[in-house]
Structure 1
Amino acid sequence: MDKKTTKSTPTAPEEITIQGQRYPVIITMGAFLEYHRITGREATDITSDNLSDTLVLLHAILKSGQRRGGYTYPYETVDDLACDLTPDEMATIHLA
């Protein structure tokens, strides 16, 4: 009996555009570690109505994704990111 193999089609990562620059939204384990380093808490404790924690998580995700792709990340702090991020840009992504 022959084994069937499953083909998976890779999907492009979600992206967010900030100040005309596109960033992939790739959730990595490094993002969770970065979130913990910044807040001292686990990312699993974030509630959907906590905008500050969501911004910290987004910063960690973007920073980790850029590192994974071999790119530099221009935002040193969460505040730096937040100053360039509009509510409309934030609304385009979904962190599940």
Structure 2
Amino acid sequence: MSLPARGLNTSAVEVTHVSSHGIWILTHDNELFMPYDEFPWFKDQPLKNILNVQEQSPGHFYWPEIDVDLTEEIIRHPERFPLKSKVFSSESHFD
């Protein structure tokens, strides 16, 4: 009995660009943009943390060093998901 040769370990998601405005990811031939205004968790992160993204299941992305968990639906329609962490918000303040 012989086993088939292993294939290359390829990721279904990849960060393709990081700019002063946000992050672009490529997943299954779709490019998605995440502006820092809507996704503030990424803004001050080291590049290595942003680049390390995993697709946990189809359309479900996780950045382990940042502990950010997003779906394609959230990225495409952030207005449908208004709750955001105040920890990273520029509007948060301490009394």
TM-score for the superposition, normalised by structure 1: 0.26
More strand by share: 2
Higher relative contact order (CA 8 A, sep 6+): 1
More helix by share: 1
TM-score for the superposition, normalised by structure 2: 0.26
